[in-house]
């Protein structure tokens, strides 16, 4: 049975949820304070990561923890003042990363990742977005033999467990494949399955335009005005209130702001990240991860995008220059980066959960309220798959994958 649905959040996850609901005949309004694809979905490395079958676990080795604690690298940064407030979610993150729980979490995560490209592919075709997509994979580059040996062992394990494909490249093969590379590195791993997007925000905008062609509406609104209204939900817009039977919260790092007044205390936190574009130099043939420094370098329409690792800090705290400055310096060791495009780096926040799995399903305590957020580093990758899954749950269809591991009630709320 069709109904009216409000989808709050026009990033990759919210836009794909709106598409799948519209495809099922629902009257859908996609609402955000900004146009589609201009927040977190704009600022990532542009990868649809079919190889990322395991979520980022909390490091448990003493040497790695001490390296982070004393800020000896640029892959992870933190604001000391923020750590007491993050203690609860990070404690859950630590526990979930242990040997007793992580294997089941990784298995559930891998089931969604397996659907990433199969679910993106028809949307890319329908949205006329093939010009944005490169299907040649991406590379992990290594400065140290020990780092490469460790990564190769993991790649072999992932191949055996999940069928993830990879090719090892020695220094000569890497130099021949990447003429823009200035430094002589020890080698690389090429992951051929991921797809790279030359403008992540533009892909979301193309998806949103496809949603509009399906009959969906896109409106500007403040999600904080959402209220229970009769048997459904109401949202204030510049043109007056919008009422619907169902409301979907797909607000990424802003989900908690709306959930707390409704009585939900989920173990949510953010990992912030930065990027900047550079023009004037030779482009890589595909995106690179500098595995020893923890940054991604990706060819984009606006130039070379240098993207940092994770920063643990309040979502809206002032930017910290340390990580981006370090990432730029490390990238300049690999590439010519003559001219930055932006006057200052872009900053965004990745929406994370204490158990590394997204939150997809019905709100435990409110009829007609649905959650689709908490995808951490992979919202851009998983948007179509989790959007389809939620639409199936709303309609009572057989789900794409078993939804139990992602259910909002797993946290006891």
pLDDT at 268: 96
In a domain, 336, yes or no: no
The mean pLDDT value of the chain amounts to 96
pLDDT at 1: 44
Q: Of 178, 186, 89, which is closest to residue 136 (Cα–Cα)?
A: 178
pLDDT at 157: 97
In a domain, 69, yes or no: no
pLDDT at 413: 65
In the numeric block, which tokens belong to residue 357? 């799995």
In a domain, 263, yes or no: yes
Structure confidence by residue, pLDDT tens digits, 228-264: 998 899 999 988 899 999 999 999 999 999 999 999 9
Span 136-156, average pLDDT: 98
Residues 6 or more apart in contact with residue 80 via CB below 8 angstroms: none
Span 116-127, average pLDDT: 98
pTM for the whole thing?
0.97
Alpha carbons within 13 A on the beta-carbon side of 171: 8
59-63, 231-235, 345-349: range with lowest mean pLDDT: 59-63
Q: Percent of the chain having pLDDT more than 90?
A: 95
**Residue 244 contacts residue 140 (beta carbons within 8 Å):** no
In a domain, 374, yes or no: yes
Span 48-74, average pLDDT: 93
Q: Are strands 138-142 and 288-290 parallel, antiparallel or unpaired?
A: parallel
In a domain, 372, yes or no: yes
In the numeric block, which tokens belong to residue 243? 């009422």
Span 384-395, average pLDDT: 98
Q: Percent of the chain having pLDDT more than 70?
A: 99
Model confidence band, residue 412 (pLDDT cutoffs 50, 70, 90): confident
Helix H, strand E, coil C: the string for 305-329 is EEECCEEECCCCCCCCHHHHHHHHH
Q: What is the total count of domains within the chain?
A: 1
In a domain, 365, yes or no: yes
Span 375-397, average pLDDT: 97
In a domain, 180, yes or no: no
pLDDT higher than 90, residue 3: no
Q: Which residues on neighbouring strands pair with residue 133, listed in sequence order?
A: 197
Span 198-227, average pLDDT: 97
pLDDT at 239: 84
How many whole angstroms separate alpha carbon 166 and alpha carbon 147? 16
Span 301-309, average pLDDT: 96
> Residue 103 region, left (φ>0) first, then alpha (ψ -120 to 50), else beta?
alpha
In a domain, 294, yes or no: no
DSSP 260-308: GGGT----EEEEEEEEEEEESSPPPSS-EEETTTTEEEEEETTEEEEE-
pLDDT at 2: 54
Domain region containing 404: 4-44+201-267+355-411
pLDDT higher than 90, residue 219: yes
Helix (H) or strand (E) holding 159: helix 145-162
How far CA 119 is from CA of 124, 308, 386, in Å, comes to 9, 27, 9
Q: What is the CATH number of the domain that holds 208?
A: 3.50.50.60
Handedness of CA 359, 364, 366, 367 (dihedral sign): positive
């Amino acid at each position: 049975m069709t109904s009216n649905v409000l989808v709050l959040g026009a990033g990759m996850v919210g836009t794909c949820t709106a598409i799948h609901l519209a495809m099922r005949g629902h009257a859908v309004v996609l609402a955000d304070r900004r146009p589609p694809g201009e927040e977190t979905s704009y600022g990532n490395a542009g990868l649809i990561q079919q190889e990322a079958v395991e979520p980022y676990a909390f490091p448990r080795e003493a040497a790695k923890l001490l390296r982070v604690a004393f800020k000896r690298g640029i892959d992870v940064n933190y604001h000391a003042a923020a750590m007491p407030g993050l203690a609860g979610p990070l404690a859950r993150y630590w526990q979930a990363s242990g040997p007793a729980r992580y294997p089941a979490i990784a298995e559930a995560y891998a089931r969604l990742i397996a659907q990433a490209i199969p679910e993106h592919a028809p949307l890319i075709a329908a949205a006329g977005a093939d010009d944005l997509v490169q299907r040649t994979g991406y590379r992990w580059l290594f400065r140290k033999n020990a780092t490469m040996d460790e990564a190769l062992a993991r790649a072999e394990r992932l191949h055996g467990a999940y069928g993830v494909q990879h090719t090892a490249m020695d220094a000569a093969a890497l130099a021949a494949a990447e003429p823009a590379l200035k430094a002589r590195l020890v080698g690389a791993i090429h992951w051929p399955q991921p797809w790279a997007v030359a403008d992540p925000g533009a892909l979301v905008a193309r998806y949103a335009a496809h949603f509009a062609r399906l009959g969906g509406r896109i409106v500007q609104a403040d999600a904080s005005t959402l209220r229970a209204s009769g048997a459904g939900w109401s949202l204030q817009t510049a043109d007056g209130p919008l009422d619907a039977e169902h409301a979907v919260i797909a607000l990424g790092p802003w989900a908690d702001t709306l959930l707390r007044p409704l009585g939900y205390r989920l173990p949510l936190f953010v990992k912030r990240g930065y990027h900047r574009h550079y023009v004037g130099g030779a482009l890589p043939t595909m995106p690179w991860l500098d595995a020893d420094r923890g940054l991604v370098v990706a060819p984009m329409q606006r130039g070379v995008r240098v993207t940092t690792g994770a920063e643990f800090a309040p979502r809206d705290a002032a930017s910290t220059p340390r990580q981006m400055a370090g990432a730029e310096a490390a990238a300049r060791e690999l590439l010519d980066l003559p001219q930055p495009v932006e006057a200052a780096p872009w900053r965004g926040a990745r929406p994370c959960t204490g158990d590394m799995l997204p939150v997809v399903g019905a709100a435990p305590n409110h009829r007609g309220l649905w959650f689709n957020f908490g995808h951490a580093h992979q919202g851009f990758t998983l948007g179509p798959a989790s959007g389809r899954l939620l639409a199936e749950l709303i309609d009572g269809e057989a789900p794409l994958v078993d939804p139990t591991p992602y259910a909002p009630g797993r946290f006891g709320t």
